[in-house]
Structure 1
Amino acid sequence: MRKIIVIALCALLCGTSAFALSKDQLTVGISQEFDYFHPHILNMVAGRYIQEMCIRALMTLDTKGKWQTMMIKEIPSIENGLAEFVEEDGVKKIKAQYELKDNLKWGDGQPITNEDVKFSWEVGMHANVPVPERDIWNRIERIEIDPANPLKFTCYSPMRWDFNQLSRFYVIAKHLEEPVFKQHIETAGSYEKNSLYITDLTNPGLYQGPYRISEAVPGSHVTLVPNEYFWGDAPYFQRIIFKIIPDTGTLEANLLSGTIDMICRLGLTLDQALAIEKRFKEQNQAYTVLFQPGIIYEHIDLQLSNPILQDKRVRKALVYAIDRDALTQAMFEGKQPKSIHLFAPIDPWYTEDPNKIVLYEYSPRKARQLLDEAGWTTGNDGYRYKDGEKLSLQLMTTAGNKTREMVEAWLQEEWKKVGIEITIKNEPARVYFSETVRKSQFPAMAMYAWTSAPETNPRSLLHSSSIPTEANNYAGNNPPRWVNPEVDKLIDEVDMTFEHAKRVELTSKILYYYTEEVPVIPLYSRADSAVIPNNLVGYEISPHQCNETNWVEYWRLQE
């Protein structure tokens, strides 16, 4: 550690980086832990970030928000004639024809065919596979493969406007994975423990992206090497290492010491990035700090099975009691605006019209009034009580994340002002996300970030069928356990509405119920940041759910 500090000090005094970056290796600092690398199962953002360098989807969004093909030749649509409306047994559907690109291969040289595509869909659809977002697979009713052409397949989809937006349709290796799938899938919880993407992670045949995983050590690092059979442009860097550094406060020292070459957007908190940008400019360091507003929003899930939180008046009081504008100004210099619901301002479905949704201005007076109405009276100690029970709620988040811990402390003081006691219990990210949040095991409040991609149906977040339970193997992202039949109906209707204006009308109604019933407390929208060497080109932070790692083969050093 002393050596790192000395080297870092030297770099500070010299005014430029003391370490030369070459195409032989790029070491990326990342603060978040990974969970799985099975693209259907993984739940943590870090795992997805790395996985997209190794396993590609049929298509993706580029960093400008435009749809691009990855493994297919063309995205079918009604307009280009590759998709059409059909009727089967009196039910209207969409028939879409796809064709894989020529010469696609797995990392062991085996060809990628329509059989892999169909198998990938079958895995994603199985009830015993704990996929966090079943919606992407439900967009397809069945897949028919062309027996005469191994590259062609036809998808039959329910009538939904986004039938051809398949950015999370990742293709997995049937020739390796199918035997394991068949052996373990009938026992709930068995497949995800025995998948080759877990037990044989370094098998080259599991990957079809520009890189493949050669080593993965939980809590330490993940090493990627080029996939010699990748069909696209050969990647520039001969090795990429993701070094996991949970303590975000030490990322800068690791950068200046040469332990890492860059910090990806899953590294620094915004306040750290702002401070580093200021220091690096003053010191003329050979790095650039990038900022990109995104669609990730920090929020608090409310456990609706908690007797206290079952009272909507208490939930509303929690929102009125916090000054989110003051929070974002004090902690983020206003760079991360407050969130009022789950859609980001860049989303065409976003609205802040008070005639359509419920807005919560900062009002401790309204918070106290609601708590009074709910029967919670103030005791001599300043906290509220009801039938001898103290109004006390536990707030949880990821341990070691300094920004979240500061936000927790700030919220604790705000809620104390209206008589609510907040106790704090934080957990390592790996446990928190894979167990506590995924299985909805938090007793009251869980703070973390989630993504709301533009024009994405919030089914996986808000529909009652997305409540994670033991019966569905904890698939779904509705940990608050919110149930609203009208919202379920609206969500279903959005899928079948092809007219944009009508979809906006429907989603505004969903937002009304969301803001009126408060299953979640939105806090603020996050801005992503990264620190890269000045001579690294081709790297651009993605503003949406499709990571910039989808374009890693274009990262290179400026000669």
Structure 2
Amino acid sequence: MQKIVFSLAILFSLSLFSACSSNNGSTRTDHIAVGVAADFDYLNPLLIQLSLSREVCALIFPTLVKPSYDTENGSIEFLPAAAETWEFSENGKKAIFHLRKDMVWEDGEPVTAGDFKFSYRLYADPRIASTRQHYLDDLLQDPEGNIDFDKSVETPDEFTLVLNFRAPLAPAIVLDHFNDLMPVAQHIFGQIPADEIRMKAAETPVIGAGPFRVKQWARQQKLVLESSSTSVLPHPAAIPMLSFVIVPEYTTRLAMLKSGQLDALVSAGGINPKDVGDLQKNSPGIVITPVKNRYFDSIVWLAIDGERYRESKEIRPNVFFGDKRVRQAMTHAIDRQAIIDGFMGPDHATIVNTSLSPAYASLTDNSLRPYEYDPRQALSLLSEAGWKPGPDGILRKNGTKFSIALAAPAGNPRRNYAATIIQQNLREIGIACEIRVDENLVFLKSQNEFRYDAALSGLAAETLPFQLVIWGSDFENRPFNSSAFQNSELDSVISRLGTPLGENENAALWKQYQQILHEEQPRTFLYYYDELEGFSNRVKNVQVNLLSTLYNAYEWTLD
């Protein structure tokens, strides 16, 4: 099946580019083609979970503000987008946004504050099951504990949006979270019952107001965007068309970039570090741009009995990873440096022991003892937890063999390489480990349903506010907490970090945040790695940064 998909992608690419060439045979200048490893989960901001899907949606739908990363001081500021200006009350419980008055959906209907309020109701609706549902938890509530949208989200006129919170919130939290809650068009989604939005996602028209609009989406093959002539957010895209070609096989993607069939490889479809030297020597027309400190890989250890939870919602410890000593042992057992040296190289990855990005060096707790590669210590911890070698050398506890499947997504050479090292490391300490590779969307769905005891997974965890939504004991409503990790102390720290704080208290709480994760190891945090994006030097005006690979894709042009 995968070979068929590869062939379809290549055929599409060839036909696309021949169609885009002018009659006199000159090189195309009106269409940028980007190669990616896997398809998008949704093009509906209510439903997205994948980071690249979020980036594409931000090119199609309005965003409240535009985050900007300052590489010199490592800080994020927010610039106008749908909101021209905004202000916060002194007590931190109110935010007022003044919207542009010239925004229109691509079908000509105006974008108003009512669209934002309507969309917030949908994000909060449990029938939608949005991964960002909990972003709205701080809004004013009614006596029954439900969000009181009439009081918490006010629209005194079509272009003023007022948010009222039940407790003080830091401005950065408000701007980050509500910027992620991209609105959908009320005149479209108001006609669809909330409990049908997810099931009708494939047939619902994608109507946005951003610089691009959807021209065509052929699942598992291609997504073609075209410049939206009516957009003022900030303007119609400079390039007439931008396409994403789904090519799961890395070597095929790379060959297509070298031949000029693709103009870029990005995100999980980016450049393998081992190919950098050859490309620099033999393909001078390819520019390699690293995105540093944005992405981390990890092994998610499921803390609960997933099958029992799916059947009855009963929370029981996972037979393997419910004990933190076992999770600590796993981190000691895995040779993370060997993975880095063998695949990325020491210049392109940094070992970490929590989810916090190395970009925030001023907040890093350097006093934490690193988890060194130490199989003896791993065995000692496992023994303390009751796991002893059986006659076949496999660890056992109360008659249960320590035998697991390590799940990984297809089409990701970095994680595939890591999986083989991890499998070998675990077998060396008496754990039977088989590798299970699933198609990307199947992998994501299975993680969300707690079907994997162990999964090689990662996140784009680029902002401090996003760090606060990865974790939460209410894991049913925290889909990024795919380990179902519960810790009341961490919940309290996260809650306090969302409020206005002085510099010293903020730094102290971030250190406490790291100390809890370091001790508990709900994931084995492998490393933050450089995502190497490859662009043809014909693609101009490209900015990639900690926040986004497609950060200014609406400014891209092609020579």
Is the TM-score greater than 0.5?
yes
1:25–1:238 contact (8 Å) kept in structure 2:
yes
Gaps of 5+ in 2: 1-6, 15-24, 71-75, 141-151, 305-317
1:218 aligns with 2:229: no
Matches within 5 A, 1:108-147: 108-141=107-140, 142-147=152-157
1:85-484 alignment runs, 5 A limit: 85=90, 94-141=93-140, 142-147=152-157, 150-157=158-165, 158-161=167-170, 162-165=173-176, 166-180=178-192, 183=193, 185=194, 187=195, 190-195=196-201, 198-202=202-206, 206-231=207-232, 232-271=234-273, 274-275=274-275, 277-305=276-304, 306-334=318-346, 335-347=348-360, 350-354=363-367, 357=368, 359-433=370-444, 435-442=445-452, 444-456=453-465, 458-465=467-474, 467-468=475-476, 476-484=479-487
Q: 83, 88, 106: which is aligned to 2:88?
A: 83
Once the 2 structures are TM-superposed, how far is the Cα of residue 140 of structure 1 from its aligned partner?
A: 4.2
- Counterpart of 1:58 in structure 2 is 64
Give the conservation status (yes or no) of the 8 Å contact 1:295–1:453.
yes
Q: Taking structure 1 as reference, are residues 368 and 296 closer, same or farther at Cα in structure 2, changes over 3 Å only?
A: same
Residue type of the alignment partner of 2:64: L
Q: Which AA in structure 2 matches 1:94?
A: K
Residue pair 1:490, 1:506 contacting (<8 A) in 2 also: yes
| Residue identity matched to 1:153 | L
Q: CA RMSD in A?
A: 2.4
Question: For 1:506, which of 496, 506, 509 is the aligned residue?
Answer: 509
**Contact in 1 for aligned 2:544/2:550 (Cα 8 Å):** no
**Deviation of 1:457 (Å):** 5.6
2-side partners of 1:259 and 1:535: how far apart?
13
Structure 1 residue 53: deviation in Å? 1.7
The equivalent residue for 2:311 is none
C-alpha distance in structure 1 between counterparts of 2:551 and 2:280, whole Å: 30
Give 1:223 shift: 0.9
SS at match of 1:41: coil
Deviation (angstroms), 1:358: 5.0
Shift of 1:521: 0.7
Contact 2:239 2:555 in 1 (8 A): no
Alpha-carbon distance in structure 2 between the residues aligned to 1:349 and 1:120: 37
Deviation at 1:252, TM superposition (A): 1.4
Contact 2:31 2:558 in 1 (8 A): no
Deviation larger for 505-514 or 376-385: 376-385
Query: One-letter code of the match for 2:441?
Result: R
Letter in 2 for 1:228: S
Q: Distance in 2 between matches of 1:501 and 1:241?
A: 46
2:98 and 2:297 mapped to 1: Cα distance?
Answer: 39
CA-CA distance at 1:318 after TM superposition? 0.8
Q: Kindly indicate whether residue 49 of structure 2 is the aligned counterpart of residue 43 of structure 1.
A: yes
Structure 2 counterpart of 1:175, which letter? Answer: H
Moved more, 160-169 or 394-403: 160-169
Contact 1:83 1:96 (8 Å CA) reproduced: yes
By how many angstroms is 1:254 displaced? Answer: 1.4
Query: Relative to structure 1, is the Cα distance of residues 411 and 484 closer, same or farther in structure 2, using a 3 angstrom cutoff?
Result: same
The equivalences for 1:489-528 within 5 A come to: 489-528=492-531
- The one-letter code of the counterpart of 1:201 is P
Matched residue type, 1:452: A
Structure 2 Cα separation of the partners of residues 340 and 352 of structure 1: 11
Deviations 1:145-191 (A, max 9, x none): 123xx2122221331113333331312111111121xx2x2x4xx32
Distance in 1 separating the partners of 2:526 and 2:344: 12
Q: CA deviation at 1:462?
A: 1.5
Q: Are the aligned partners of 1:32 and 1:429 in contact in 2 as well (CA < 8 Å)?
A: yes
Aligned partner of 1:451: which letter? A
Letter in 1 for 2:322: Q
Cα drift, residue 349 of structure 1: 6.8
Contact 1:133 1:477 in 2 (8 A): no
Q: Residues of 2 paired with 1:109 and 1:550: CA distance? A: 26
| One-letter amino acid of the structure 1 residue matched with residue 447 of structure 2 | V
Correspondences of 1:24-35 after superposition (within 5 Å): 24-35=30-41
Contact 2:323 2:385 in 1 (8 A): yes
Give the stretch that moved more between structures: 54-63 or 344-353: 344-353
* 8 Å contact from structure 2 (residues 301, 321) kept in 1: yes
Amino acid at match of 1:215: Q
Residue aligned with 1:222, SS: strand
Q: CA 1:27–1:389 in structure 2 vs 1: closer, same or farther (change >3 Å)?
A: same
How many percent identity over aligned positions?
20
**Shift in alpha-carbon separation, 1:383–1:437, aligned structure 2, 3 A:** same
* Partner deviation per Cα, 1:219-260 (whole Å, 9 max, x = no partner): 100011111210133322111111001111211111233332
TM-score by length of 2: 0.85
Q: Is the partner of 1:193 in helix, strand or coil?
A: coil
261-270 vs 98-107, which deviates more? 261-270
Distance 2:218 2:558 in 1: 27
> Which moved further from structure 2: 163-172 or 509-518?
163-172
Query: Please, what TM-score do these two structures have when normalized by structure 1?
Result: 0.85
Deviation (angstroms), 1:319: 0.9
Give 1:38's aligned amino acid: N
Aligned residues: 505
Maintained 8 Å contact 1:105/1:230: yes
Per-residue CA deviation, residues 101-160 of structure 1 (Å, 9 max, x unaligned), is 23111101111111112112111122222111234333544211123xx21222213311
Partners of 2:327 and 2:187 in 1: CA distance: 50
Q: What's 2:558 paired with?
A: 557
Match of 1:71 among 78, 82, 85: 82
Report the AA paired with residue 321 of structure 2: L
The SS at the match of 2:84 is coil
Give the corresponding residue for 2:145: none
- 2:128 and 2:198 in contact (8 A); partners too: yes
Q: How many angstroms apart in 2 are the aligned matches of 1:164 and 1:246? A: 35
Are the structure 2 counterparts of residues 265 and 518 from structure 1 closer, same or farther at C-alpha, using a change threshold of 3 Å? Answer: closer
Is the Cα contact below 8 Å between 1:347 and 1:454 reproduced in 2?
Answer: no
CA-CA distance at 1:216 after TM superposition:
0.7
Question: What CA distance in whole angstroms lies between the structure 2 residues aligned with 1:457 and 1:241?
Answer: 28
Give, in whole Å, the separation in 2 of the partners of 1:451 and 1:139: 24
**Residue type at the aligned position of 1:525:** Y
- Check the 8 A contact 1:33/1:46 in 2, yes or no: no
Superposition deviation, residue 525 in structure 1: 0.6
Which shifted more, 258-267 or 301-310? 258-267
